[in-house]
Structure 1
Amino acid sequence: MNPKGSSVLHNRSFLRLWIARIFSTSAFQMLSVAIGWQMYALTDSAFQLGLVGLAQFLPMLLLTLPAGQTADRYDRRTIVYLCQLMESVVVLLLVLGSLQGWLGSLHLLVAAAILGACRTFEGPASAALVPDIVDREQLPKAAAWSASAMQTAMIVGPSLGGVLVVWGTAAAYIASLAALLISTVLIFFVKTVHFVKKLDAVNMDTFLSGLKFVFARKIILGTISLDLFAVLLGGATALLPIFAEDILKTGSLGLGLLRSAPAVGAILVSLILTRYSVEKSIGKTLFASLVVFALATILFGVSHSFWLSLFALFLIGASDVVSVVIRSTLVQVNTPQEMQGRVNAVNSLFIGTSNQLGEFESGTMAGLVGAVPATVIGGLGTLVITVMWMYWLFPVLRTQKTYMAEKG
């Protein structure tokens, strides 16, 4: 327990969890780069490359509800620890297979599926672990620090993975294994301080209880569904290769800078939020950030200037992280301790679906009408969703002044 007003990083368990997330997420990002690179090198097939993403997504789709149950039944720290141990074993086999030359496309798909399954169980347990080790009044700053960890990993992981595969995929796998082992050790020393109630026997009612809880509370349903539809329509980053090559004419170097710009904006703002967290007019700030996100998406779509495009992407990342921190804090604060795993599992499913389908939607729309119209339409769609949620479907979100929902 921390003295009131002290930094959340003074909590040693949270600090360990925060550092562990940087290492584990960076490892997963490196693995995604390395597995995709090796799959394409082995098969020279875009279809096989797409199967890697599908192999990671299907376990999440199938196992999300069981993962939530598990996170509310058993010690969450132990779940994260065991998942990362299993991931380390898979990566060790990838190292050996690469060095010894017996790794094939089927092995890579199986490895991607197992890693996806482990991450499905690890995600809700890791998210639900934060309220187990941090006092409720510190959750907004904890969410901001968590966002900074994720964004740091989103920059470091793919960049490091791309550099390491130059020396061979085994080098990227070894680095991923080292990062996972460091994370596993850190998680082992995390200590929880809040009691978690154990669930009754498994039945259909308890199995679906996470979904029932979310749909019975407008503040949580509005928050989670807002993420689903806003991200689904505003996925401009999926089209960055087209913009870099055909519109901005920047080549691979420009693509790298364009990919980094949203994460840079997100890291900068998340670090600001760790010191000056949003505590008042929560709802208005949430929707304002979404309006900025939508307008920045439109600006990026119509821009033919590389520097203006970088600025627009910076705004996309900066505004998105404000929305992410507010939404994740709203969900955690308004969810009972014993329901954290199941609700975070539903949240993970919505987020994962929006990311996967968002890329598919952006790519499909770009194929039909072109990258620029697709991006502008996506930004306009996000504006429409924002207005609908504000004034029609979930006005309770707009009037929300604090993180705790008003009773009655």
Structure 2
Amino acid sequence: MIAPLTYRFRALRTRNFRLFAAGQIVSVAGTWMMVVAQDWLVLGLTGDSAVALGTVTALQFTPMLFTLYGGRLADSHDKRTLLTAANCVSAALALLLALAVFADAVALWHIHLFALGLGIVNAVEVPARLAFISELVPPSVVPNASALSAAYFNVARVLGPALAGLLLTAFGTGWVMLVNALSYLATVTGLRLMRPAELLRPPREAGRARVVDGLRHTLGRPDLAVPMALVAVVGLFGLNFQLTLPLLAKTVLHTGASSFGLLTTVFAAGSLLGAFAASGRSSRPSALLVTGAAIAFGLLEAAVGWAPSPTTAVVLLFLTGFATICFAQAANHRVQLGSDPRYRGRVLALYTLVMQGSTPLGALCVGWLGDRWGARAAFVVGGLVSLAAGLVALAVDREGRRPATRAAPRTPAAEDARP
């Protein structure tokens, strides 16, 4: 029992990764506290408007459409420096919004500006962070480091909303936002304490790194293009929980701020279990695993929309969280471990673009759907579309393998075996 457990945490043997993980778990917990506080503030300012919540979400994720340029920066410049600068800017933005709340002067347009600014920073930070993992540990440990990154992300996702619910009830949104601003300092400290000589930097591409080269590399590889397309559809219609969870909590389950935090925590707990399930992976996942995870996710998300009681909804949300991270990790590992290291920043930027850049349109669509038909419809439609996308990807993968089977030469034994 000890050996498998040690194997699942093997990336933590590397000092630089330990510093990175420690800083991230504090910062991400603050981020999720901010998500809960921001959503609750928007609903309070707008009379529980799903469209208003969808607009804020869209503004935060619209800059991710330019994340390909962030990937180019990650392939051209020192990732540790980029991440340090991005976290400092994020801290400043969160602090400004917290001060506006403390001054009782916050308006919806303040939240719009904050969401847009944070989205611009994330367009640089996310691809740099994803690509930076492969510089922290040896190549054989990258899947484990990536899975543990998802694990600490979901640990923070469990802790953050739970703490946010308590702080919102006791002190209000301003203090939650201030804690988030301070949490970025943990990531900055971890980055600056790293030993640069121990980073495993890939060789630089000859000449100027171009976005189009990363696109060409991805589109020329069906084993990368198909999971990318699947991630785009699921991200557009299925992965809108930042919008659908508060709507479910407030308009269907009729909970308060603390119960909303608990509901988010249940979903994150399922995600955490999924991350630990993926931590034992040591090789590139198959296409069947990616599509199978997407199909399971679609079925579970649709089931949440049909849940007859709050207890059933909570159980299904836990399972949906598990399926969400299983799909995201399988797709991420298939793309990351299959790409050329010279283009990894740009390939992962494209992955981020299709995963999160589709969120603005998806948030607006789901917000409209939630206003018109309710939160349950948002879950059902998102789940059914994700299910259909998984089935289509499964058919495409099977079709892609079929020509090789047809072209296989017949041996005399095979001829004799024919009826």
- Report the TM-score when normalising by structure 1: 0.82
Report what 2:86 is aligned to: 83
Shift in Å, 1:248:
5.4
Q: What's the counterpart of residue 164 of structure 1?
A: 167
- Post-superposition Cα deviations, 1:349-387, rounded to whole Å, max 9, x if no partner, equal 111134444443334345555554553343333222112
Deviation track 1:178-222 (CA, whole Å, cap 9, x = no partner) reads 21111110011234532333356658xx13222222212111111
Aligned pairs for 1:131-146 (under 5 A) are 131-146=134-149
Specify whether residues 256 and 104 from structure 1 end up closer, same or farther in structure 2 by C-alpha distance, changes over 3 A only.
closer
Tell me the residue number matched to 1:269.
274
Q: CA deviation at 1:49?
A: 5.6
Match of 1:360 in 2: 364
State the match for 2:410 in structure 1: none
Report the more deviating stretch, 101-110 or 322-331.
101-110
Using the alignment, how far apart are the partners of 2:254 and 2:337 within structure 1?
46
The answer as to 2:70 corresponding to 1:70 is no
**Matched residue of 1:208: which SS?**
helix
Mapped to 1, the partners of 2:119 and 2:174 lie a distance apart of 20
1:148 CA displacement: 1.0
Identity of aligned residues (%): 26
Q: 1:98 to 1:358 in 2, by over 3 A?
A: closer
The equivalent of 1:406 in structure 2 is: none
In structure 2, what is the equivalent of residue 180 of structure 1? 184
What is the aligned partner in structure 1 of residue 391 from structure 2?
387
Residues 22-101 of structure 1 mapped to structure 2, 5 A cutoff? 22-35=25-38, 46=49, 51-61=55-65, 63-99=66-102
Aligned 8 A contact 1:235 1:359 in 2: no
| Count of residues in Structure 1 that have an aligned counterpart in Structure 2 | 392
Q: What are structure 2's unaligned runs of at least 5 residues?
A: 1-5, 403-419
TM-score between both structures, scaled by the size of structure 2: 0.80
Question: What per-residue deviation string (whole Å, max 9, x for no partner) do you get for residues 124-149 of structure 1?
Answer: 11110011111121122112101112
Q: Distance in 2 between matches of 1:40 and 1:369?
A: 18
CA distance in 2, matches of 1:33, 1:96: 18
C-alpha change, 1:135 and 1:86, in structure 2 (3 Å) is same
Q: Which residue of the other structure, out of 203, 216, 220, is the alignment partner of 2:224?
A: 220
In angstroms, what is the RMSD of aligned CA positions?
A: 3.4
2:333 to 329, 334, 350: 329
Cα 1:92–1:384, aligned 2, differ >3 Å: closer, same or farther?
closer
Q: Distance in 2 between matches of 1:347 and 1:152?
A: 23
Shift, 1:271, TM fit: 2.0
Q: For residues 38 and 294 of structure 1, what CA distance do their matches in structure 2 show?
A: 30
| 1:114 aligns to 2:120 (yes or no) | no
Unaligned runs of 5+ in 1: 399-408
User: Does 1:260 find its partner at 2:265?
Assistant: yes
Which of 112, 128, 131 is the equivalent residue of 1:125?
Answer: 128
CA distance in 2 between partners of 1:394 and 1:357 (Å): 30
Cα distance, 1:260 vs structure 2? 2.6
Asked whether the equivalents of residues 219 and 396 of structure 1 are also in contact (C-alpha less than 8 Å), the reply is no
> Following TM superposition, by how much is the alpha carbon of 1:42 offset from its aligned partner in structure 2, in angstroms?
6.9
Mark the CA change 1:211 to 1:80 in structure 2 (over 3 Å): closer, same or farther. Answer: same
* Amino acid corresponding to residue 197 of structure 1 in structure 2: P
Does the C-alpha gap of structure 1 residues 280 and 129 become closer, same or farther in structure 2, counting only changes over 3 Å? closer
Provide the residue aligned with 1:195 in structure 2.
201
Counterpart for residue 283 of structure 1: 287
